[in-house]
Structure 1
Amino acid sequence: MKSPQYIFSVPMKVRDYECDIQGVVNNANYQHYMEHARHEFWESLGSGFAEMHNKGLDAFVYSVHITYKVALHPGDKFNSCLTCHKKGAKLVFDQAIIREDGTVCAIGVVEAVAVLHGQITRGEHFDLLMEQIKEKYHIE
Structure 2
Amino acid sequence: MTTATFTMPLRVRYVECDMQNRVFNAHYLTWVDMAHTEALSELVGGYESMVAAGVDVVVVGAELDFRAPARFDDRLEVRTTVHPPGNTSLRSDFAITRDGVLLAECRMTHVCVDTTTYSKQVWPQWLRDKLPSLD
Regarding TM over 0.5, the answer is: yes
Which residue matches 2:120? 120
Give the superposition deviation at 1:32. 0.8
Unpaired stretches in structure 1, ≥5 consecutive residues: none
2:44–2:131 CA contact under 8 A, matched in 1: no
Q: Please tell me the root mean square deviation across aligned C-alpha atoms, in Å.
A: 2.2
Aligned residues: 130
Counterpart amino acid of residue 94 in structure 1: D
- Paired residue for 2:12, among 2, 14, 26? 14
Task: Give the 3-state SS of the residue equivalent to 2:130 in structure 1.
Answer: helix
Which structure has more relative contact order (CA 8 Å, sep 6+)? It is 2
Which residue matches 1:83? 81
Counterpart amino acid of residue 91 in structure 1: L
Give the superposition deviation at 1:42. 1.2
TM-score using structure 1 length: 0.81
Describe the superposition over 1:21-66 as per-residue Cα deviations: whole angstroms up to 9, x where unpaired. Answer: 1100000110011111111111112432222222221111111110
**How high is the sequence identity, in percent, across the aligned residues?**
26
TM-score using structure 2 length: 0.84
Give the superposition deviation at 1:82. 1.0
Separation (CA, whole Å) in 2 of partners of 1:84 and 1:16 = 30
Describe the superposition over 1:55-79 as per-residue Cα deviations: whole angstroms up to 9, x where unpaired. Answer: 2211111111101110000111111
Which residue matches 1:37? 35
